[in-house]
Chain A
């Protein structure tokens, strides 16, 4: 019991603390790939530090919803961070680690982000919210479909069980998991507002989605939102790792293996972050109206994964 509480605390703190680092690493890799020197991997921390020391400015007509939303988003992401088994499966919250609840938590965070964006009544905020919901209503079913493939393999919707099943069985080639992984990657790109669906590095009115929703925020509110989106990226990476590359995650009672798990995790994140930067550099942003096609492809792949699972791997 104590052990599970300990590993729970360790994992949550780790994710919350490391999230900006991953973001910094991705940005740094991208800068290198583009032949720039980059701002260093610690830059997101500096930005957060700067924002927390500023005075918050609120729009005149902002309601309490507007002020609450950043905290809610941050809370949701922290909750997600504590239920996805990324270091160990022996977590205190593991009973709540259900894949469908996970999708629900992401949806909740997004709902408040969109509501808050519309709350002030600026044109950009509403437009951003609308676009965000367009992407979301396509990405969410795709995400659910992606998750169903590992669920079918493990015969359970509990993340803990899925990780334990996939990590601890003899090596089997799962074409269905490959489909699901590709689809998941596409959904993750869309959900984290990365290229090719959105560009996190630009404030161009015509194309921005996520940035348009945060235009009215400043200081600590903005810091929380930025931090939450950094955590979202890490959370998605964590889910991807838990579902598709779960080797190295510690199961109950093996505290000695924890350092090894940490090394494995950092390696996976290092490679994954570099990969993300590479994809972002290589691809161009899609027109917003092409985003449905992109996500439709992800949905298709996810469904194919399920069908392949049902048909071939019996």
Chain B
């Protein structure tokens, strides 16, 4: 018994999200990373809108609009400006080479799909199957943060992780209550600004955005 058409559409979008997460994991150019992040936001808001349409949950329309404004335009724009101002283009070396990262990524996806199985059986939403994909997106972004050396990719990973969590919320429960969602959005926005301030501080102090300079404080 195949799911309804909107269910299938959400599955397609979930698969796209997973693909974008992998693309981000393999992307070496910082600007492309930001564009991918914007695409991720777009797919996210489309899927939220589809869920809203198919379930009649009106508050999801608002969060879809919020997602578009914040994650497709505002945050990528801020990051884009920052990258141009700071003149960083490449993230030359990652800590682990990219094919290995990909293999780890596949293991991560399998792990998260297994993790999601018991939960998605409890959920009653049409979108419950995509919960595994959501967890996978969160963990893949986490992996990206671990494997990158430069500050900006780490931040994009951080934001992508939030995207994954948002997707998890829509797919498991049709979204959190509006107050909470607004609060989370505010936190993310403020967080990005603070990251931006940080970039300038770090570069002013170290003349580079390489986080290798940030490994001096260790237990001796």
Contact = CB atoms under 8 A, between A and B. Distances in A.
A313 B33 CA distance: 29
B9 to A, nearest CB: 7
Given A310-B113, A311-B113, A296 B15 contact: no
B18 to A, nearest CB: 6
A293 B15 contact: no
Interface stretch (A107-115, A223-231, A259-267, A301-309): A301-309
Contacts of B102: 296-297, 300
Nearest to A301: B19
Given A304-B18, A314-B129, A296 B99 contact: yes
Contact of B113 (A170, A296, A307): A307
B133 interface: yes
Contacts of A176: 15
A165 to B, nearest CB: 13
B14 interface: yes
A311 B99 contact: no
B119 interface: no
Given A312-B130, A314-B129, A173 B106 contact: no
B22 A300 contact: yes
A173 B106 CA distance: 23
B19 A179 contact: yes
B19 A312 contact: no
Interface residues of A, number: 22
A311 B9 contact: no
B90 to A, nearest CB: 17
Interface in B11-26: 11-12, 14-16, 18-19, 22, 26
A303 to B, nearest CB: 5
A242 to B, nearest CB: 21
Contacts of B19: 179, 301, 304
A210 to B, nearest CB: 24
B22 A293 contact: no
A307 B110 contact: yes
Given A173-B9, A292-B99, A293-B99, A178 B15 contact: yes
A173 B22 contact: no
A303 B106 contact: yes
A135 B133 CA distance: 31
Interface in A264-306: 292-293, 296-297, 300-301, 303-304
B12 A173 contact: yes
A172 interface: yes
Given A303-B106, A304-B18, A304-B22, A312 B99 contact: no
Contacts of A253: none
Interface residues of B, number: 26
Contact of B132 (A178, A179, A311): A311
Chain A at the B interface: mostly helix, strand, loop or mixed? helix
B18 A308 contact: yes
Contacts of A179: 15, 19
Nearest to B26: A297
A292 B103 CA distance: 13
A137 B49 CA distance: 44
Contacts of A308: 11, 14-15, 18, 133
A300 B106 contact: yes
Nearest to B130: A312
B168 interface: no
Interface in B77-124: 98-99, 102, 105-106, 109-110, 113, 116
Contacts of A121: none
A86 B200 CA distance: 61
A175 interface: yes
Contact of A312 (B15, B26, B105, B110): B15
Nearest to A169: B2
A175 B11 CA distance: 7
B6 to A, nearest CB: 10
B39 to A, nearest CB: 16
A180 to B, nearest CB: 11
Nearest to B16: A175
Contacts of B54: none
20 contacts: A172-B2, A173-B8, A175-B11, A175-B16, A178-B12, A297-B26, A300-B102, A301-B19, A303-B106, A304-B109, A307-B106, A307-B110, A308-B14, A308-B15, A308-B18, A310-B113, A311-B113, A312-B15, A312-B129, A313-B2
Interface of A: 170, 172-173, 175-176, 178-179, 292-293, 296-297, 300-301, 303-304, 307-308, 310-314
Across the A-B interface, the 3 shortest Cβ-Cβ residue pairs: A175-B15, A173-B8, A312-B11
Given A303-B106, A304-B109, A313-B129, 14 more contacts: A172-B2, A172-B8, A173-B9, A173-B11, A176-B15, A178-B12, A296-B102, A304-B22, A307-B106, A307-B109, A308-B18, A310-B113, A311-B133, A312-B130
